Amino acid sequence: MTAELQHTLAKSAGFGGTSLHTGEKVTLKLQPAPVDHGIKFKRKDLADEPTIDANIANLKTVERATTIGEGAVRVHTVEHVLSALSAMGVDNAIIEMNANEPPIGDGSAAPYVELIKKAGTAAQETPRRFFDVREPIHVESKSGSLLVLLPDDKFRVSCTQAGPNNRFTQFFSAEISPALYEREIAPARTFVFYEEVAPLMEKNLIKGGSLENAIVVRGDAVLSKEPLRFADEFARHKILDIIGDLALIGTRIRGHIIAVKPGHAVNAELVRAIVKQHAKITALSVPRTFPPGEGGLDINQVMEILPHRFPFLMVDRILGFEGETKCTGLKTVTVNEPFFAGHFPGHPVMPGVLQVEAMAQVASILLMKLAKSASRIGYFMSADEVKFRKPVFPGDTLFIHAELTKARSNRLAKAHCSCVVNDAVVSEGDLMFTFLDK
């Protein structure tokens, strides 16, 4: 259940080249940065060497590339270097440049992957921040672009790319890891359709473009210095761009992006939607530190940890913890419980399903104690080997025991639980949970 740690670069590393859109010569250097620093660009060529945070609040334009800026300072075409840093697991870094656009290299992110490998990465002492997707988020454009973000335990991107008149329609899907990115995504080069070249040149763009750093598609022909590196190279490059643009969120994602004809503009709209949703969730949760020690918790402390309230709060207090794996809670069953009015009137019996709920709530508290955080919610996934041995009546006191039996990562756990009245087990079962940030 160990949390993933933030990473930075082990040392600095740099290289030089030509910018795609401005055509300028530029030297870029990656530098280590402290925890929670994020990714920042530093313009070494300007007075006072201003820095720009790589986040969506600083997005300026999305014309064939992603441009960020603060005040009058700009950095163009940031998506390739951001893509490589994000996918290769770098959370904190300074990108120093002596011009306003990074080198284009061969039009892929492979040169940046090599630069990151040359610098090496180093773990830091603070956990990574994640946005766990809980419900679908989608954005679409009038031009037919569509992006949908779905819940997933990992970060996955599936992309369908189609050119004008649906030429060169391609599909690629992958769970993004550093090894896969380096092998399957980073080498994919930027591309342009021939009919788009003249309008881009009229806008003073692609001054540094050539067949050495971009693929040009003319009709059904592919013009480039070398053949396609993958049959679906265009779809892979679109995934490369999506990863780079999503780096502007400032936190990692656990979710599955399904993209149809993506581009920088619609990518940016998805980033804004994610940031808005993340802010909404964060505003609803007040991070709380779990009380230290093995002592019990009174009802106020229980209510600070569990989101449940009357009539669904099934724990009156926590009597205590035994090490890291055991916990005992208590519930006094009174004749005034709301469920007695409709459950066997005239012969009130506590419903078995509510005994299971009481076990689940005590187990949730145990697992949050283990994670040393109350800023999460335990979602009940399954109940196995559940047995109800004796009825529970008004006046009984339930002693609710939970013992952790299995934990996988910091998101899945299993506990054996039981309810006891007068030293006799009245119900028991094996419960499975998943945990999400509130």
Catalytic site includes residue 76: no
Establish whether 264 is a catalytic residue.
yes
Catalytic residue among 80, 264, 278, 401: 264
Name the amino acid, one letter, at 167.
R
Q: Which residues pair with 75 in a beta bridge?
A: 68
Measured CA to CA, the distance from residue 285 to residue 48 in angstroms comes to 39
* Distance separating alpha carbons of residues 8 and 97, to the nearest angstrom: 18
Strand order in the sheet with 191-193: 191-193, 215-218, 221-223
Residues classed as catalytic = 264, 343
